Copies of this chain bind each other. A is one copy, B any other.
């Protein structure tokens, strides 16, 4: 597309201005220059259709590309079909639409020879659709599974952490905006089932519709199940699994205990994660925020960029940023010291003289084996290096100081 039409702006028709739609409109304006740099074409909004304003036919007519963020199946289906039939590529975040009407939509897109992209429909900003369709496009995938609903993962994480009951934690999730006023689509597993139908279709090249996915939700989970599981070293997740089994495919959503070392076990709160298994790739795991207006809008914008770029953009620099050599870090510091009074004071003085501040210190061993293990607060690396050099001069050290950088938890 960039080659054929040069630097003419690309006009985008936006359907819907809810949370994601509004975030997309703002992000598109903010990142217009970056989109142009990546694709050769500047994007601009041709029009926005909401329940209150805008005329679909007029917006379609004036658009090069349509972004559907209305949600639900009607009238979204009519709009997407009309756009595809008019030869306009479509980006959508609408999982229900794809899970229920995928066959029809993909057939029309193929006939019309235009792209239909939907990265944001599954697992938010995690580029799982792209990975399965393109990176693993010639791979015999055996299994796709993961945590594809952030609301339920938040609820299960909180139940496990606090010991509180399902109803109490659901109310809390609603207050925090992680669950909707009517949470039934999420907590029943139906939302995850729609996403798994889409992933199964892509991974196994077979038609899978929502009605073929069996699902269970988390409404029946009891706090004591979580308590016993904790004793057994298990964590509870709502899993979606699509896999080849017995010459067919099994696509399901169900709560499941995972052993402590399982790659999905550390995924907590509203995050999503998806694993892809295949003999040729072993397993690849991708995790990130599963929802959020800005994150979903960002995934939509990625699809817009892909459509405009056509073939993958050949890398081009956009300027030259200076290389910054001296930055701040925290450090672990290990000193083999003489076991005599005043040593710590002299070491602390050297560090203080260089504005290097100690977060914690423990003494280990005694006599010939005495050593200090310190954690140093974040400071400029050049300053820490100077402090290390000065420490090396001290007669109280039995060997040169050893240091390793540290990333600590932020509170």
**A201 interfacial by beta-carbon distance below 8 Å:** yes
A61 within 8 A of B: no
Which B residues are CB-close (under 8 A) to A181? none
Q: Which A residues between 95 and 134 are near B, CB-CB below 8 angstroms?
A: 102-103, 106, 109-110, 113-117, 119, 125-127, 130-131, 133-134
Q: Which residue of B lies closest to A252 (CB)?
A: B327
Interface set, chain A 270-295, CB cutoff 8 A to B: 278-289, 292, 294-295
Inter-chain CA distance A31–B140, complex, in Å, is: 8
A117 touches B312 (CB 8 A): yes
Question: What residues make up the interface of A, taking CB atoms closer than 8 Å to B?
Answer: 3, 27, 31, 34-35, 37-39, 102-103, 106, 109-110, 113-117, 119, 125-127, 130-131, 133-140, 201-202, 204-208, 212, 214, 220-222, 224-225, 228-229, 232, 234, 236, 239, 244-251, 254-259, 261-263, 266, 278-289, 292, 294-295, 297-299, 301-302, 304-307, 309-325, 327, 332, 334, 364, 373, 375, 402, 404-409
Chain B residue nearest in CB terms to A84: B314
Q: With a CB–CB cut-off of 8 A, which chain B residues contact A322?
A: 247-249
Q: Please, which residue of chain B has its CB at the minimum distance from the CB of A218? A: B404
CA distance A251 to B38 in the complex (A): 23
Minimum CB–CB distance for A395 against chain B, Å: 22
B334, A406: Cβ atoms closer than 8 Å: no
- Going nearest first, the 4 A-B pairs with the smallest beta carbon separation are A284-B288, A248-B322, A127-B135, A205-B318
Question: Closest residue of chain B to A105, judged by CB?
Answer: B315
| One of B207, B286, B405 near A285 (C-beta < 8 A) | B286
Contact A130 B127, CB 8 Å, known A205-B318, A289-B281, A334-B228: yes
**Bound Cα distance from A135 to B127, whole angstroms:** 6
Given known pairs A292-B282, A298-B281, A321-B206, the reply for A201 and B315 (CB within 8 Å) is: yes
A interface majority secondary structure: mixed
Please, which residues of chain B bring their CB within 8 A of the CB of A224?
334
Q: Which of A3, A266, A405 has the most CB of B within 10 A?
A: A405
When the two chains form the complex, which single residue of B119, B229, B250, B283 contacts A325, counting CB atoms closer than 8 Å? B250
**Which residues does chain B contribute within 8 Å of A283, judged by CB atoms?**
288-289
The answer to whether A315 touches B248 (Cβ under 8 A) is: no
CB distance from A295 to the nearest CB of B (A): 6
Say yes or no: B133 contacts A315, CB within 8 Å: yes
**A259 & B409 in contact (Cβ 8 Å cutoff):** yes
Are B130 and A131 closer than 8 Å at their CB atoms? yes
Choose one: B307, B310, B320, B404; the contact of A206 (CB below 8 Å): B320
Q: Which residue of B lies closest to A251 (CB)?
A: B323
